[in-house]
C-alpha cells in the first residue's frame, strides 16, 4: 500500500487500516503502524522509523514505543485475527506519501487482506496550529 496526497490547505488525515494476521508460531507480538513519508505515526507524534524513535517520549525502549496505541498478541498457533489501526495526523500544505508497516517478533506471522481508508478534513484557517493534541506538521521526505 502506497498512497500519495497533495494538499493545498491544512488537513487532518484519519487513516484506518483493517486487515487480518495469521499467527503461525504462537506467542507472537505483532505491531501494525501507519507511516507518512517513511516515518511512523504514533499517537499525536511522527517519529523516525528506526531506533531513534525512543527519543520522543513515547516509551523507554523500542517495544515500549511500538506498543503505544495498541499492539496485537496471539498465544495460539494458526489463529487468524482481524486487526484495526486508526491514526490521525494534522499536516500543512504539501505532498505526503502514506504506507502501512508491520513488525513481528517472529517472521512467521502473515499479514494481509488489508483495506486502508483515508478521511481528509481541510481547514481554511492557515493559522490554526493545532486541533486538540494534534499539532500542525510539515514532514519533509528525508525526516529520518
116-134 residue pLDDT tens = 999 999 998 989 999 999 9
Domain ranges of the chain: 2-135
Residue 83 has pLDDT above 90, yes or no: no
Beta bridge partners of 29: 73
Going by CATH, does the domain composed of 2-135 fall within 2.40.50?
A: no
26-75 residue pLDDT tens = 777 888 899 999 999 998 889 999 988 998 888 899 888 888 887 777 77
Amino acid at each position: 500500500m502506497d498512497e500519495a496526497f497533495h494538499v493545498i490547505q491544512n488537513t487532518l488525515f484519519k487513516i484506518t487500516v483493517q486487515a487480518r494476521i495469521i499467527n503461525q508460531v504462537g506467542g507472537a507480538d505483532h505491531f501494525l503502524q501507519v507511516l507518512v513519508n517513511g516515518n511512523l505515526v504514533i499517537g499525536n507524534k511522527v517519529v523516525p522509523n528506526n531506533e531513534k524513535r525512543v527519543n520522543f517520549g513515547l516509551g523507554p525502549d523500542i517495544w515500549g514505543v511500538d506498543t503505544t496505541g495498541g499492539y496485537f498478541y496471539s498465544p495460539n498457533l494458526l489463529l487468524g485475527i482481524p486487526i484495526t489501526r486508526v491514526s490521525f495526523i494534522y499536516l500543512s500544505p504539501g505532498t505526503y506519501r502514506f504506507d502501512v508497516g508491520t513488525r513481528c517478533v517472529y517472521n512467521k506471522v502473515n499479514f494481509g487482506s488489508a483495506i486502508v481508508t483515508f478521511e481528509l478534513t481541510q481547514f481554511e484557517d492557515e493559522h490554526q496550529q493545532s486541533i486538540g493534541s494534534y499539532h500542525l506538521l510539515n514532514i519533509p521526505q528525508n525526516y529520518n
